[in-house]
């Protein structure tokens, strides 16, 4: 009876040890191919590629003032249909004002289901961060945004919007479908 109890305790410790080792996997670098990311892994900014972009930046485009609020989020849970993992990302919130100072669109305060901008990968060979924009209402304007660090106070912005088919079924009502973000190449933002 005593031997059976000792065996149970021993196997319990072995099981806890195995689980602990699995939970403490070495982090993977950014840009690890999706197929190579194991379930529950952590894709970490090991080379500090994201941190230099963190801050508040401003630019003016076609009379509108655009302010970007860039933050770094560590250990963000990514849930896909057949996999979950954690990774470090940049999140971008923004405020866009017209020449009269009226706010056209703002994502900094509050949580909105739309207008999400999150980094997806880096391009070390070109010094760029690639972000994905989910689009404004009804997904209008979804696409990639490329940020490139020019120096300690400036970044370059390139936004390639994609088109979306809008129907009454996938976009009911009459939401504002204007894309206020600057759809342009090499717009310079200055750190504040």
What single string gives the DSSP state of each residue in 93-144?
Answer: EEEEE-TTS-EEEE-SSS--SS--EEEEEEETTTTEEEEEE--SGGGTT-EE
- Kindly report the three-state secondary structure assignment for every residue of 135-158: CCHHHCCCEEEEEEECCCCEEEEE
pTM over 0.75: yes
pLDDT at 155 over 90: yes
Residue 173: how many CA atoms within 13 Å on its side-chain side?
Answer: 5
Half-sphere exposure at residue 66, Cβ-oriented, CA atoms within 13 angstroms: 20
Judged against a pLDDT cut of 60, whether residue 14 lies above it is answered with no
16 and 24 Cβ atoms separated by less than 8 Å: no
Measured from the Cβ of residue 121, the count of other Cβ atoms closer than 10 Å reads 15
Q: C-alpha distances in angstroms, 161 versus 2, 37, 59, 108, 135? A: 69, 29, 19, 21, 8
Q: How far apart are CA 192 and CA 188, in angstroms?
A: 13
Cα within 13 Å of Cα(192), Cβ side: 10
Q: State residue 144 phi and psi, 5-degree precision.
A: -95, 145
DSSP code, position 111: -
Q: What is the largest CA-CA distance in the chain?
A: 83
Per-domain boundaries in the chain: 28-191
> What is the arithmetic mean of pLDDT over 39-43?
97
User: For 131-142, what is each residue's pLDDT tens digit?
Assistant: 999 998 889 999
Report residue 20's pLDDT band, with 50, 70 and 90 as the boundaries.
Answer: very low
Length of the chain measured in residues? 192
| Assigned fold of 28-191 | Lipocalin (2.40.128)
Q: Residue 21: is its pLDDT beyond 70?
A: no
pLDDT of residue 173: 87
């Amino acid at each position: 009876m005593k031997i059976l109890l000792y065996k149970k305790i021993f196997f319990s410790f072995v099981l806890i040890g195995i689980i602990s080792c699995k939970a403490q996997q070495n982090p993977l670098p950014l840009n690890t191919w999706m197929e190579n990311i194991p379930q529950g892994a952590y894709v970490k900014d090991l080379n500090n590629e994201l941190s230099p972009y963190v801050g508040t930046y401003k630019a003016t485009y076609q009379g509108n003032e655009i302010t970007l609020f860039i933050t770094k989020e560590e250990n963000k849970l990514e849930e896909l249909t057949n996999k979950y993992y954690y990774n470090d990302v940049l999140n971008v919130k923004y405020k866009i004002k017209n020449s009269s100072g009226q706010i056209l669109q703002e994502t900094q305060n509050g949580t909105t289901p739309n207008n999400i901008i999150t980094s997806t990968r880096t391009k070390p060979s070109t010094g760029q961060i690639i972000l994905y924009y989910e689009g404004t209402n009804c997904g209008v304007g979804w696409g990639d945004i490329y940020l490139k660090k020019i120096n300690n106070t400036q970044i370059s912005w390139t936004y390639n919007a994609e088109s979306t088919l809008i129907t009454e079924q996938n976009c009911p009502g009459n939401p504002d479908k204007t894309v206020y973000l600057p759809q342009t190449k090499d717009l310079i933002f200055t750190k504040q």
